[in-house]
Structure 1
Amino acid sequence: MVAMKKSFVIALCNVVVVLHFVGSSTVVQACTPSDRAALLEFRAKLKEPYIGVFDTWKGQYCCNGWYGVSCDPNTHRVAGITLRGESEDPIFQRAKRSGLMIGSISPAICKLTSLSTIIIADWKGISGGIPNCITNLLFLRVVDLVGNRISGVIPANIGRLQRLKVLNFADNQISGGIPTSITRLTSLSHLDLRNNNVTGVIPVDIGRLKMLSRLLLTGNKISGQIPESLTRIYRLGDLELAMNRITGPIPASLGKMSVLATLNLDGNLVSGEIPGTLMTSSISNLNLSGNLIVGQIPNTFGPRSYFTVLDLSKNRLKGPIPASITAASFIGHLDVSHNHLCGKIPAGSPFDRLDATSFAYNDCLCGKPLGNCGK
């Protein structure tokens, strides 16, 4: 009898444990009614009838099985919305032939006060503005709206998002200037505003963004000079400012940045001479094409010079191609066409594998791969 009682107690305990586990699982699945209501209000402003992205947005448990929704397991509050129009997931393979998401980003998203991630990317058809109220979502770490038709301006108080690490508004129709408050985002590592209609200047104190590793502003209408403070961002690896209206000289201190690997100033109004520091720097992809740069190509190449791309074309450079360029450890693509260069093209690498287009439209360059130099 005693043994039977003990067995019953053990079995009862096991049942309690199982029931506790089931109950805990149910709690994990749940989300707050207010977050669920906010998600449905957000969803109401978007139309995506072909792929079925929102087919799973049903029932009470938005933390469990709602596509693209993630929650904090401790608070059961919505922490992330991730909706990508370009995905390897089979659910998106019909998009190219069936249609894409349209609509706008509802201010209801701001009711999700625990959000740390907003990714609504590559749908091509989402329009409207960026809700100003997102600057109240102080837990945000990632805001990625790339590849839509979003217009209007960047919220002026974007600098309130002190935890923000990624801000990506590329490939939209955003206008207005870069808010000065953006320089308060001291945790920001990735800023991408490429291919918009952004105007104005780069904030003069952008150097405050000490964690920034990528600054991508290509394809806008940005004017003014490259701020000197930018060269003090010691983590900066990629600086792309091409196809803007940037003026003034290239700061020589860009060539002293320890990890800068890409510097693209193509298609601006940059003037002055090329700093010699750029030729022996950490930069491996240097594109200065299509500017108003004068003077000579610096004769400062050496064993530390390593370029996958060196494009100096379509400027106002004069004089010879410097002899020291043959001392570079590697030059992959070289283009000095459309300048006023003159003299004999150096022999040896990389010149022995380049074609004539790399040297075309200069005043009087000669030698291989162009014609022989006269006596």
Structure 2
Amino acid sequence: MATFLYITLITFLATASAVNGCPPSDRAALLAFKADLHEPYLGIFNSWTGTDCCHDWYGVSCDPETHRVADINLRGESEDPIFGKAGRSGYMTGTISPSICKLERLSSLTIADWKGISGDIPRCITSLPFLRILDLIGNRLSGDLPANIGRLQRLTVLNVADNLISGEIPRSLTNLSRLMHLDLRGNRISGRMAVLATLNLDANKLSGLIPASLFNSGISNLNLSKNAFEGYLPDVFSAGSYFTVLDLSYNNFRGSIPKSLSTASYIGHLDLSHNHLCGKIPLGSPFDHLEASSFAYNDCLCGKPLKAC
């Protein structure tokens, strides 16, 4: 009788573990993802052992109800004790395996600041219907952004800054109606820009005219510096314009500063330096609290805070 109860208990515990653990398909996808990466210093993948990837696998979290992998959070710069013990930031090489796309319930993918991860962003990533966060900053990823990125209807964060991404911004990006944070700075993106919601696009190779509608699109932090935009700045600002940051420096804008800028309800930081602007700087807010550096290195701007006209 005692033997029977013991066997029954062991069977129950094994069954409960299988039910509460991640499915074999998710575990296999994670191990395939790991196989394409090499992390020599911290040993973050040493914990990726055993049958249950939902418990004690570094950087992996599962949905408590479905027990499917929901979050992968691997940062090369972190306050986690594993970094303090090693006395260094992380370094990882390899590529992001398309096997990541087999994690059908994945909602957050962060593989950030590893400095050596290269290759393309897997095109199949656009097939993950629950993905909300895609953070790949600080690697050496190349190629272009997946053309169908706009299929990720739940995406709120897209951060691929400080990589080697090239090509044009996909037109489908404008379909991301829930996007709250977009960071593409420090890449090699070129071509013409589509109308987007929130932008940090400094240090790319974008060119052409800026759509006037961009300044009335509801963004509050717009950084288009260090590109090759040209033409006149649209005179379309109004009392509904609100910017914590409006940085248009290091481009090829010409003509005068739009007078309607003075009607904006708020502009915290404005930088129009290093362009080809000319004429008198408008009076009033926000110009009365800006320094000369905001207007420096233009062709012939004058008036406060620069020299008198």
With normalisation by structure 1, the TM-score equals 0.74
Residue 230 of structure 2 corresponds to 247
CA RMSD between the two structures:
2.5
> Among 284, 300, 304, which residue is 1:317 paired with?
300
> Among 193, 197, 207, which residue is 1:202 paired with?
193
Q: C-alpha displacement at 1:237, in angstroms? A: 1.2
> Among 38, 55, 72, which residue is 1:47 paired with?
38
Residue 82 of structure 1 corresponds to 73
State which structure, 1 or 2, has the greater radius of gyration over its C-alpha atoms.
Answer: 1
**Helix, strand or coil: the match of 1:119?**
strand
- The equivalences for 1:170-209 within 5 A come to 170-203=161-194, 205-206=195-196
Q: C-alpha displacement at 1:294, in angstroms? A: 1.2
**Helix, strand or coil: the match of 1:150?**
strand
On the 8 A contact 1:29/1:64 being kept in 2, the answer is no
Q: Relative to 1, partners in 2 of residues 1:311 and 1:30: Cα closer, same or farther, differing over 3 Å?
A: same
Mapped partners of 2:107, 2:290: distance in 1: 39
Percent identity between matched residues is 51
Q: C-alpha displacement at 1:255, in angstroms? A: 5.3
Mapped partners of 2:225, 2:19: distance in 1: 48
Residue 4 of structure 2 corresponds to none
Mapped partners of 1:111, 1:314: distance in 2: 52
Residue 254 of structure 2 corresponds to 271
Q: C-alpha displacement at 1:303, in angstroms? A: 8.6
Do structure 1's residue 104 and structure 2's residue 95 form an aligned pair? yes
Structure 1 unaligned blocks of 5 or more: 1-17, 207-211, 322-333, 344-375
Mapped partners of 2:113, 2:89: distance in 1: 15
Mapped partners of 1:50, 1:36: distance in 2: 24
Do structure 1's residue 131 and structure 2's residue 122 form an aligned pair? yes
Mapped partners of 2:301, 2:131: distance in 1: 50
| Amino acid aligned to 2:189 | V
Residue 291 of structure 1 corresponds to 275
Mapped partners of 1:268, 1:275: distance in 2: 16
> Among 209, 212, 223, which residue is 1:228 paired with?
212
Structure 2 unaligned blocks of 5 or more: 1-8
Q: C-alpha displacement at 1:310, in angstroms? A: 6.3
CA-to-aligned-CA distance 1:53-75 (integer Å, 9 cap, x gap):
11110001101110111111111
Q: Relative to 1, partners in 2 of residues 1:58 and 1:101: Cα closer, same or farther, differing over 3 Å?
A: same
| Amino acid aligned to 2:34 | R
Structure (1/2) with the larger strand percentage: 2
Residue 113 of structure 2 corresponds to 122
On the 8 A contact 1:280/1:304 being kept in 2, the answer is no
Mapped partners of 2:296, 2:23: distance in 1: 59
On the 8 A contact 1:318/1:342 being kept in 2, the answer is no
Mapped partners of 1:95, 1:231: distance in 2: 46
Q: C-alpha displacement at 1:284, in angstroms? A: 1.1
**Helix, strand or coil: the match of 1:181?**
helix
Q: C-alpha displacement at 1:256, in angstroms? A: 4.3
**Helix, strand or coil: the match of 2:205?**
coil
Mapped partners of 1:33, 1:45: distance in 2: 19
On the 8 A contact 1:222/1:245 being kept in 2, the answer is yes
| Amino acid aligned to 2:129 | L
**Helix, strand or coil: the match of 1:253?**
coil
Number of aligned positions between the proteins: 299
> Among 105, 122, 144, which residue is 1:153 paired with?
144
Higher relative contact order (CA 8 A, sep 6+): 2
Do structure 1's residue 61 and structure 2's residue 37 form an aligned pair? no
